[in-house]
Structure 1
Amino acid sequence: MEPILRIKNIEKYYGNKSCLTKAIDDISFTVDEGEFVAIMGASGSGKTTLLNCISTIDKVTAGNIYLEDTDVTALKGKELNKFRRDKLGFIFQDFNLLDTLSGYENIALALSIKGMKASDIDEKVKEVAEELGVTEVLNKFPYQMSGGQKQRIASARAIVTRPSLILADEPTGALDSKSSKLLLERILFLNDALNATIMMVTHDSFTASYAKRVLFIKDGKLFHEIIRGDDSRKQFFDKIIDVVTLLGGDISDAL
């Protein structure tokens, strides 16, 4: 089976000749359809830059990124906008919900932009709201929701179009431990039950332990990877902690 995502020898530089920073240094890997992959690394390691390049928020300096049969690095203008709309789903740390729209309207917006009929939008919004356990807050505005509810509404918005790839940037970063666990269980449900392909950046080992594979980035390079396989989540968590220690990370940040 062909991987759904292929990262080939990508590099990313910032600055100019007098002050050049190499944020990504010749990284290559693949992600199969239905995988749940976490990316970990210390602050400044390049993990967020990597996600930004995959998400088309930023452009690579060299190399190529392929999603399905599309060379993402070659897209521009309307083609790029259409690609983002149809192929990618985003979950941000700070939710990025529109305050003047209800939960229902925030989720429905992605479908409205695609020109879907109102009856089909209603069906899909209610379906994804049930999957993520937010049916009871569909009529509430973001200021009336808890942090966990807002993040699950944001996750529903990301998945409602059934994108090829869901990109999550520190999705539990603004949540308490109970809300984080609930959100991660819902994300895992999307991966297991709906075969959603998910790539998540996190600094948190507990969050990463919900993934099926973890890539570790150090100084812009792919440092190591571990695969959960048949391990329990606790066993996988312990392995992640071991690598975080090897990376020279602060264990207090990882727990």
Structure 2
Amino acid sequence: MNNLVDIQNIEKYYGNRSNVTKAIDNISFTVKKGEFVGVMGPSGSGKTTLLNCISTIDTVTSGKIFINDQDITKLKRNGLAKFRREELGFIFQDFNLLDTLTAYENIALALTINKVPASKIDERVKDVASKLEIQNELNKYPIQMSGGQKQRVACARALVTNPSLILADEPTGALDSKSARMLLDSMEKLNQEFKATIMMVTHDAFTASYAHRILFIKDGKIFNEIIRGTDSRKTFFNKIIEVVTLLGGDSGNVL
């Protein structure tokens, strides 16, 4: 598989000369096309800053970020907006659905913004809804849906534009255990059956166990990495917990 994401020696500083915080400290790694990567670490570790830099929401102080062989650190305002629309899909913890639009309209909006012909929008919305098994929710407004249904609509909105990379920030954080499992099963299906490349920040070990590989971030650096390989999800989950134990912490303050 080819590398879709190539992070090269990125650093991110906040503050001024008298009070400087290094949020990211010389991080480098790659993500292959079709890979599902989890990013974990304690609060303040830099994992969200890392995701924000990859998503172009924030900018790096130094280093380079290549996505699809394009150095996004060199893009200017209009180029960034175009790149974000065409190459990235986002899944947020709080769904970010528009309350005045139906599920269908929330998903279709992403295509309208990208100027997809109206004749093709209906087919693409219904196709992604079928993949995520939310056909029966398309005419509902967010207030009429459960948390799990809303998150799968958000997932459909992220996927419908056929992005190169899907970025998920604590996607199960606002869900109960049943809804979280349904969403994770959907994300796993997108990855395995439709080859979607996913990067997911999470505090939760069970959520992380759906990924192929996990990068642990601490103090702005990658301090460990584990790969699922042929392990079952249960075995991989146990390895995640083992990493926490080896680091001398517990799942509450590290994950």
Taking structure 1 as the reference length, what is the TM-score of the superposition?
Answer: 0.97
2:217 equivalent to 1:211: no
Cα–Cα, structure 1 residues 18 and 254, in superposed 2: closer, same or farther, change >3 Å? closer
How far the C-alpha of 1:231 sits from its partner, in A, is: 0.4
Asked if structure 1 preserves the Cα contact closer than 8 Å seen for 2:91 and 2:154, the reply is: yes
Give secondary structure in 2 for the equivalent of 1:4: strand
Give secondary structure in 1 for the equivalent of 2:101: coil
Partner AA of 1:149 in structure 2: Q
How far the C-alpha of 1:249 sits from its partner, in A, is: 4.1
2:251 equivalent to 1:251: yes
Measure the CA separation in 2 of the matches of 1:177 and 1:244. Answer: 22
Map of 1:47 onto structure 2? 47
Give secondary structure in 2 for the equivalent of 1:23: strand
Structure 2: where are the runs of 5+ without partners? none
Partner AA of 1:140 in structure 2: K
How far the C-alpha of 1:243 sits from its partner, in A, is: 1.1
Measure the CA separation in 2 of the matches of 1:247 and 1:194. Answer: 36
Map of 2:171 onto structure 1? 171
Give the paired residue count: 255
Map of 2:67 onto structure 1? 67
Partner AA of 2:120 in structure 1: D
The more displaced of 32-41 and 131-140 is: 131-140
Cα–Cα, structure 1 residues 123 and 249, in superposed 2: closer, same or farther, change >3 Å? farther
Cα–Cα, structure 1 residues 232 and 254, in superposed 2: closer, same or farther, change >3 Å? farther
Give secondary structure in 2 for the equivalent of 1:13: strand
Measure the CA separation in 1 of the matches of 2:23 and 2:254. Answer: 22
Asked if structure 1 preserves the Cα contact closer than 8 Å seen for 2:5 and 2:32, the reply is: yes
How far the C-alpha of 1:134 sits from its partner, in A, is: 1.0
Render the CA deviation track for 1:106-157: whole Å, top value 9, x for unaligned: 0000101111122210000001001111111110111111000000000000
Give secondary structure in 2 for the equivalent of 1:5: strand
Render the CA deviation track for 1:56-97: whole Å, top value 9, x for unaligned: 000000100000121011111211111000000000000000
Render the CA deviation track for 1:200-238: whole Å, top value 9, x for unaligned: 000100000000000000110001111100100000000
Asked if structure 2 preserves the Cα contact closer than 8 Å seen for 1:214 and 1:225, the reply is: yes
Map of 2:135 onto structure 1? 135
Measure the CA separation in 1 of the matches of 2:40 and 2:253. Answer: 12
Cα–Cα, structure 1 residues 137 and 249, in superposed 2: closer, same or farther, change >3 Å? farther
Alpha-carbon RMSD across the aligned residues, in angstroms, is 1.2
The more displaced of 34-43 and 244-253 is: 244-253
Asked if structure 2 preserves the Cα contact closer than 8 Å seen for 1:42 and 1:249, the reply is: no
Partner AA of 2:225 in structure 1: E
Measure the CA separation in 2 of the matches of 1:248 and 1:119. Answer: 57
2:255 equivalent to 1:238: no
Measure the CA separation in 1 of the matches of 2:104 and 2:248. Answer: 44
Structure 1: where are the runs of 5+ without partners? none
Map of 1:2 onto structure 2? 2
Map of 1:93 onto structure 2? 93
Partner AA of 2:237 in structure 1: F
2:156 equivalent to 1:156: yes
Map of 1:38 onto structure 2? 38
Partner AA of 1:209 in structure 2: S
Measure the CA separation in 1 of the matches of 2:131 and 2:20. Answer: 46
Taking structure 2 as the reference length, what is the TM-score of the superposition?
Answer: 0.97
2:146 equivalent to 1:146: yes
Give secondary structure in 2 for the equivalent of 1:99: coil
Partner AA of 1:169 in structure 2: D
Asked if structure 2 preserves the Cα contact closer than 8 Å seen for 1:188 and 1:210, the reply is: yes
Partner AA of 2:246 in structure 1: L
Give secondary structure in 1 for the equivalent of 2:3: coil
Measure the CA separation in 2 of the matches of 1:103 and 1:186. Answer: 17
Partner AA of 2:44 in structure 1: G
Partner AA of 1:22 in structure 2: K
Partner AA of 1:171 in structure 2: P
